[in-house]
């Protein structure tokens, strides 16, 4: 006879896309293009330095703001 309680809806956080720094020479495809983050997350880029002196982003670590690394992904460079 009573009404069923609906489960409380969790507030959905805003997601944002952060683009990786791109190599100066656009002839190579970047290892990472972008990462999608929640509003309470930041990204730390993993850099690889090539023998010809170039630097490219080849991975990333998603961290909670002001916390330790949570998950990471590296490309096969």
Q: Tens-of-pLDDT digits for all 77 residues of the chain?
A: 556 655 555 555 688 999 988 877 665 666 788 999 999 999 999 998 888 888 888 899 999 987 555 566 665 55
In the chain, which residue ranges form alpha helices assigned H by DSSP? none
Total domains present in the chain: 1
**Can you tell me the distance from the alpha carbon of 76 to that of 11, in angstroms, rounded to the nearest whole number?**
36
Burial class, 75, CB count within 10 angstroms (exposed 0-12 / middle 13-18 / buried 19+): middle
Q: What is the pLDDT of residue 44?
A: 94
Answer yes or no: is 54 within a domain: yes
Answer yes or no: is 3 within a domain: no
Q: What is the pLDDT of residue 49?
A: 87
Using DSSP, state whether 14 is helix, strand or coil.
Answer: coil
Closest CA to 59 of 76, 42, 38, 41: 76
Q: What is the pLDDT of residue 14?
A: 84
Domain containing 51 equals 15-74
| pTM assigned to the model | 0.60
């Amino acid at each position: 006879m009573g009404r069923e309680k609906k489960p409380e809806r969790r507030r959905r956080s805003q997601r944002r896309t952060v683009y990786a720094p791109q190599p100066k020479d656009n002839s190579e495809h970047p290892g990472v293009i972008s990462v999608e983050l929640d509003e309470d997350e930041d990204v730390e880029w993993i850099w690889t330095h090539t023998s010809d002196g170039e630097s490219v982003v080849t991975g990333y670590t998603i961290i909670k703001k002001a916390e330790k690394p949570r998950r990471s992904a590296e490309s096969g460079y």
